[in-house]
Amino acid sequence: MVSLDAVSAPPIARKGAFGTTLAIPSGDPFAIVMKGARYSEAQAFSEGLRGAWVAFNLDRLAKEAARFERMHAAVEALAQPSRYPAACLVAPFVDDARTLDAALLSKLQPEAIGPEMAARVAQVRNFVADPRNARAGGIEAYVSAELERWKDFFDTIESKPLTAEQRLSVVVDEDATLVLAGAGSGKTSVITAKAAYLVKSGIRQPEEILLLAFAKNAAEEMSVRVEARSGVPIVARTFHALAYDIIGVVEGSKPALADHATDDLAFTNLIKQILKDLVRAVSDVSRAIIQWFAHFLVEPKTEWDFKTKHEFYTHLESQDLRTLQGEKVKSYEELQIANWLYENGIEYEYEPDYEHKLDGAGRRDYTPDFRLTESGIYIEHFGVRRQKTADGGERLVTAPFVDREEYLAGMTWKREVHAEHDTTLIETYSYERQEGRLLTGLAEKLAPHVTLKPRAMETIYDRVLELNQVDTFSQLLGTFLRKFKSGGYSLAECEARSEQRKLGKRAKAFLDVFAPVYEEYEKRLGGRIDFEDMILRAARHAETGRYASPFRHILVDEFQDISQSRARLVKALKAQHADARIFAVGDDWQSIFRFAGSDIHLMRHFGEEFGGEFDGARGVHRTVDLGRTFRSVDQIAYAARTFVLRNPAQLDKQIIPAGTASEPAIRVVMTAKDEDGQKLSEVLATISATRPEGAKAPTVLLLGRYRFLEPDMRDLKRQFPRLRLTYKTIHASKGLEADHVVLLAANSGRTGFPSEIVDDPLLDLVSPEAEPYEHAEERRVMYVAMTRARHTLTILASNSRPSSFVTELKKEPGYGVAAVTDEAEEDHECGECGGRLLRVQGKDGRTWYRCEHAQHCENLLPACPSCGAALPRKVDGTAEVRCTCGAVYPACPNCTDGWLVERSGRFGAFLGCVRYPRCTGKDKLAKPDHQPSKPRRKGRGRR
C-alpha cells in the first residue's frame, strides 16, 4: 500500500534491460520501487497515481482555502502594511500560520499544486520560518510611507515643524513605545501630535484614547493644547481623577478623600502627630521610637568603613552627629555613648578640659571624651579593634588611615595621666560595638560609680522635637509609607530585603517604628481613602473586569514619575484589549520624585513591565530617543549629560544642544561665611549689566534645594528691576526654563545638596531594585537644576563646605566650568587628612590656611611669613618648602605641611614647626657662618 500523503513527487516509469521499473518518491530515504511490470501497465499506473496525488494535495488545500487565503493576504499586506504591524497584531497571525503550516502547508507538494500556488504557499512558509524579519521589514515600510503621507501634518501641528525624531515617535505604534524626552526636547509636542494623529488617521476614536498626566494643571494644559492643535476634543486626566472615576462607575459612589491626600504638609504633620501620640501611649512602641532617634537616626558608619580621613570626615559632616543633649560629637560610637548617658539621666560634659593642669611637653591641652559631672568619672572611647595574630594571640589595631603606634601611645599616655592624678577613667572600645556589647559593657563598668535615673520617654521625645529631628524623620516615614502601599509590600518582604541587602540593625529599628505608625495611619483613615488606596482600588476593579475599559491607546506623560500602583492600573487597563497600546513619554534623567512614590525601575525595565510578546520573545517594545534640546546651549547641555551619566544605570541618550556658547556658560562662585547674599547680588548685577539697551528683560530663575533657601525676593526685585526674577525649589522648577539660572547654597551637609535625607538607603526596602550608585536621585535633581538654563548657569557654593557635586564639576576639565573667585587661588591638599586647605582671615588680620574639616582635623598653617598671603608648599624630592613669592624654608621633619621657623626656648634659639603645638617637629639652628640666606620676613610665624 502506498499512502498518497507519503508521496513527495510524481511516480516515474523507466524501461530497462530486464523490464520496466516504477519509482514512487516518498519522504523516506528510499523511493518505493516496483520492478517487472510491462511498460504500458506501469505507465498507466503512474499516470493514475499522479492524478490521484495531485487531486489529493489540491483537495487538502481546498479544505483550508479560506484560511490560507486570509493568511496569504496578511503576509502580502505585511510587506506594505496599512497599519503599524505591532506585535499584538502580528503575533496571533504567526500562531495561526504555524498551526496551518504544521498541519497542511509543510505537507503540500509544490509539483502537485502547481507553480503559482506553490509560490503563494512558499510566501506564507517563509514568513513562518522568520516572522521577526518579516515584521521588521513591514515596520520599516510602514514608517517610511507614513512619514511621507503625514508630512504636512507634522510640519504644521506645532508652531515649528516637528523634528525627525518627534515624527518617528508619533508614527511608531508598538505594543509599548517609550519616548526618551530629555530636558527641553519637546515632549508635550510629541504627545499632542500623537493624540491628534491617532484620531485623524482613523486608528482610534477619541473615546478610545486615554491621556494621562501627573498634575492637574499639566492635564488641563494638555487637553487645551490637543484640541487647539488638532480640533480633537480629548480630555487629559490625572491618574487620581481616572481612578476616582473608575471607583465611581463600579461602586456607584465615590468614597471621601482623606484631608491630607492633596496636602503634603498635612500628610507629614499627620505622621508627626502619630509619632507623638505613640510615644505617649504605648510603652514598647515608644521605646522603639526613642531608640531610633538615640541610636539609628544617622547611618551607623565608623572610621572602619572608610579608607581615608578625608572620606571619613566628609561622611561625619554629612550626618550631623548631634546628641540628644545638643552637642556635635566626632564619631557614631561617641554618639551612642552620649545618648545612652542622656537616656539614663547621667549628666555629662563632652570634651571638657581635664581638671588638672598638665605639663605641656609639646602636647595640646587634654580634653577627655566625657566627664560625668556628679561622680567626676571620665570616659575615653578608643577606636581600636582586636585582631588575631599568627601565634593565636591578639593585638589591637586601628582604622586604615590611623597611625597605630601613635594612637596606642596616646592611649597609654591618657592612662598614665589618670593614674598620676588619681582620677577614675572608664574605657570603651570599638571592638565592643563590633561584638554588640558597647552599651551593656558601659553600664557594667559604670555600675559601681553611678545610679541610673532613666528619663521619661515623653521627656526625651520633647528633646528630639527641640532638636528639629522629627521633621526629617517624618518625611522619611511618609515617603516609605507611600511606596510601601503603592508597591503592595508586606513587612515580611521588607525584613527579607533588609537581610538580603545587609542593612543591619538600623533597618530593623526603622521597621519597628514604621509598623505601628502604618497601623495607626490606616486606623485614622477611617472610611476615607488616600491616593494610594484610590489607585490600587481602581486597579483591582480593572484587573477583575468589574470595570470595562474603553481605552485602546494609553498615552502617559512624565512617565519617569510613575509609581508601582499607577503602573498596575495601566497594565490592568491594557490587559483588557489584545490590541491596546501604551505610549509613554519621559526622561529617566529627571526622575526626582521618589518621595512621592515614583519608581525609576519601571522606566529602566520598560519592556519587561509593559512590552508585548512575539515569536517567543517577551518584553517586545520600541524606544525612540528624541535626542535634542531646544533649551540649553552646548556647554550646559553636554555638561549636564556627562554629569547625569556618571551613574551607569541611567539610560543613554544623545543630546543636540540649542546653540553654541561664545563664553563660559557654567560658573561656580565660591562664597565665604555669611557672604551668600553679597555674592548673589554681584552675580545678578553682572547679568543685569549684560542686557542690551532696549532688549527684553532676561528671565533669571533662582533655584534652591529647599524652600528655606529662598532669599528676600521683594528686595532683590527692587535692586534689579531690569531682570525678571523668580525663586523655585528645584523640584518645583521641573518643566520651567529661564535665560539664566542661579543655583543657591550648593553646599554639603545633611540638609545640603546632595541631601543626605532623601537618599536614605532604607527606601531601597520598598523599591524593586536598589540604586547602588551614591546619591543617584540627588544627581538627577542636579541635572534638572542645570537644564533649566538656556544661556548661563551660576552655582553659589560655600568655600568651606562645597557640595560634592560642585567639587566634581570644578575638578574635572571635561565639564568646562569656570570657577570665579576674588583672586586666582590654587587648591591645597591637607597633609593631615587629604581635605582642602582653605584661606581664612584671623582675628588679628593675618592670613591663615585651615583644613576644610576644621571640626575634626586641626591642621592650621600661617601664610608665608615673607609675603603674608600665599601658602608655602613642600618641593618634591627636597627638604625644602617654597612659597610662590620666592621664600624658602626648611621642611618640618615630623609633618607633611609644616616648615621650620626660628623660635626661642630655655636653651636658646632653635627651629620649630609653624604648626606647634599640634606638631613638635624641630631642628638645630645652623651656625651663622654656615646658615643659608633667609628671605626677609614680617614676623616669626608664631600662632
Residue 539 · residue 549 · CB < 8 Å? no
Residue 351 · residue 858 · CB < 8 Å? no
Backbone conformation region of residue 545, classed left if phi is above 0, alpha if psi is from -120 to 50, else beta? left
How far apart CA 862 and CA 374 sit, in angstroms, is 41
Each as own residue / partner, the long-range contacts of residues 349-354 (CB below 8 Å, 24 or more positions apart, any chain) are 349/373, 350/323, 350/325, 354/417
Q: Spell out the SS3 assignment of 630-675.
A: CCCEHHHHHHHHHHHCCCCCCCCCCCCCCECCCCCCEEEEEECCCC
Phi, psi angles (nearest 5°) of residue 488 = 65, 35
The single residue listed with the C-alpha cell 572611647 is 381
Phi, psi angles (nearest 5°) of residue 29 = -60, -30
Q: Is 507 helix (H, G, I), strand (E, B) or coil?
A: helix
In order, the DSSP letters of 532-580 are HHHHHHHHHHHHHTSS----SEEEESSGGG-BHHHHHHHHHHHHTSTT-
Taking alpha carbons only, the member of 262, 260, 245 closest to residue 535 is: 245
**How far lies 37's CA from each of 4, 11, 22, 390, 396, in Å?**
21, 14, 8, 98, 106
611 is annotated as contributing to ligand binding: no
Taking alpha carbons only, the member of 738, 729, 808, 739 closest to residue 775 is: 808
How far apart CA 211 and CA 193 sit, in angstroms, is 12
487 is annotated as contributing to ligand binding: no
Residue 198 · residue 171 · CB < 8 Å? no
Q: Containing H/E element for 613? A: strand 612-614
Rg of the chain on CA atoms, in Å? 38
Q: Give alpha helix (H) positions in 422-469.
A: 430-434, 438-446, 457-466
591 is annotated as contributing to ligand binding: no
CB atoms within 10 A of CB 843: 5
How far apart CA 806 and CA 792 sit, in angstroms, is 16
HSE of 735 in the Cβ direction (CA atoms, 13 Å)?
A: 12
Taking alpha carbons only, the member of 214, 210, 216 closest to residue 195 is: 210
**How far lies 885's CA from each of 275, 823, 863, 865, 891, in Å?**
61, 16, 11, 10, 17
Q: Spell out the SS3 assignment of 5-43.
A: HHECCCCEEEEECCEEEEEECECCCCCEEEEEECHHHHH
Taking alpha carbons only, the member of 225, 233, 214 closest to residue 557 is: 214
Residue 764 · residue 771 · CB < 8 Å? yes
Phi, psi angles (nearest 5°) of residue 708 = -70, -5
Residue 450 · residue 372 · CB < 8 Å? yes
103 is annotated as contributing to ligand binding: no
138 is annotated as contributing to ligand binding: no
Taking alpha carbons only, the member of 152, 153, 154, 178 closest to residue 166 is: 154
661 is annotated as contributing to ligand binding: no
Strand order through the sheet with 176-180: 236-238, 209-213, 553-556, 581-586, 176-180, 622-625
Residue 493 · residue 775 · CB < 8 Å? no
183 is annotated as contributing to ligand binding: yes
194 is annotated as contributing to ligand binding: no
Burial of 681 (0-12, 13-18, 19+ CB in 10 A): middle
How far apart CA 779 and CA 592 sit, in angstroms, is 9
CB atoms within 10 A of CB 713: 12
Q: Give alpha helix (H) positions in 812-847.
A: none
Per the annotation, where are the binding residues? 181-188
Per the annotation, where are the binding residues for ATP? 181-188
